[in-house]
Structure 1
Amino acid sequence: MSENNPGKLLCNPKNLTGVFELITKINRRYEKIQRKNIQNLNLTPSQHMILRQLWESDGRQFKDLAECCECTRPTITGVIDTMESNLLVTRESNPKDRRSLLVKLTDKGKNLKNDTPQLETMVNGCCSGINQEEIETLGQLLQK
């Protein structure tokens, strides 16, 4: 971090290596903020990531959650097993494909969204110098 700006990460994003180093540092900072905010809710980062996906669009297939979370189906199954035993999610038959199951939020899982706005506020505070258009451009560039 810079002495003049304690929140600013030091690296040289003039080449791809520098950009990847910066992304890694940003990710570590985000994970630290995330862990701090979800520890009181007895959630793991993986569980929180799945909840965020379901808050955005409830009733997701395992393969979709695995893809969004960048992990394997067996890993997602283990996380979902724990979340189901904690009454955060349920598994329901997919009316469009009886061979697959959908992961759906319980009321308890839905209500956790109200307990986590602080994380969004802290992340937004870290990015206060970036406007919405720049955030969208960055997202588009990173998805290429």
Structure 2
Amino acid sequence: MKSQTITTNTSPTPQIGDQLCFALYSTSLAMSKLYRKLLKKMGITYSQYLVLMVLWEQDQQTVNDIGQKLVLDSATLTPLLKRMEAQELITRVRAASDERQVIISLTKAGNDLRKAAADLPVSVLCATECSTDEVKNLKDQILALRASIMKTV
């Protein structure tokens, strides 16, 4: 394991502007605000958008499979899925082979949102004011950072 000290100021106490955690947190908040604005006209939240993207890639998945892909536990995911079912974006059906498993499937309305979401990546890219390559490199660095951190937690 690499051990290094990062010093950007001479203060004995941590300064918020020097913290990687705050840079990531505040950037995440900004990204959430951007998506909230973009998704408002679709009538869905960012969390719902993530579930829909997983189902657009492959329909009819278990709650556990969706949770693993989104790094969410079932206690967080289940209420979200119930709201999406009430909005008629998905259906939830117990698996015939194992009633402990719930299969999540897109409805026509959930599948139709795919067309409305098609322009979102371009809008987000424009908002970043980065090139496609810069965004890809940044995403790769963030994923590598997450993997490194997950080794220690």
TM bucket normalised to smaller: 0.7 to 0.9
Partner of 1:82: 83
**Residue aligning to 2:140:** 137
How far does residue 46 in structure 1 lie from its aligned partner after superposition? Answer: 2.0
Q: How does the TM-score come out when normalised to structure 2? A: 0.69
Cα distance in structure 1, aligned partners of 2:30 and 2:67: 23
Match of 1:37 in 2: 38
After superposition, the Cα gap between the structure-2 partners of 1:136 and 1:23, relative to the gap in structure 1 and judged at 3 Å, is closer
Deviation at 1:135?
4.3
- 2:40 maps to amino acid: Q
**Contact 2:89/2:107, CA 8 A, preserved across alignment:** yes
Partner in structure 2 of residue 61 of structure 1: 62
Residues 77-116 of structure 1: matches in 2 within 5 Å? 77-94=78-95, 97-116=98-117
* Range that drifts further, 66-75 or 78-87: 66-75
- Between the aligned partners of 1:14 and 1:140, the Cα distance in structure 2 is 24
Rg larger for: 2
Q: Percent identity?
A: 21
Equivalent residue, structure 1, for 2:23 = 22
For 1:89 and 1:14, how far apart are their aligned partners in 2?
49
Change (3 A) 1:137 1:72: closer
2: CA distance, partners of 1:42 / 1:54:
17
Q: Is the 8 A contact 1:37 1:118 kept in 2?
A: no
Q: Distance in 1 between matches of 2:140 and 2:70?
A: 22
- Relative to structure 1, is the Cα distance of residues 130 and 112 closer, same or farther in structure 2, using a 3 angstrom cutoff? closer
Q: TM-score, normalised by structure 1?
A: 0.73
Q: Which runs of 5+ in 2 are unaligned?
A: 1-5, 9-17, 148-153
Gaps of 5+ in 1: 1-12
* Corresponding residue number in structure 1 for 2:14: none
For 1:109 and 1:14, how far apart are their aligned partners in 2? Answer: 48
User: What is the alpha-carbon distance in structure 2 between the residues aligned to residue 71 and residue 96 of structure 1?
Assistant: 24
Matched with 1:118 is 119
Question: RCO (CA 8 Å, sep 6+): is it higher in 1 or 2?
Answer: 1
- Structure 1 residues 110, 127: CA separation in 2 closer, same or farther (over 3 Å shift)? farther
Q: CA RMSD in A?
A: 2.8
1:58 match: secondary structure? coil
Paired residues in the alignment total: 131
Deviations along 1:62-114, one digit per CA (max 9) or x if unpaired, are: 12323344443133221111211211111234466454121111121011011
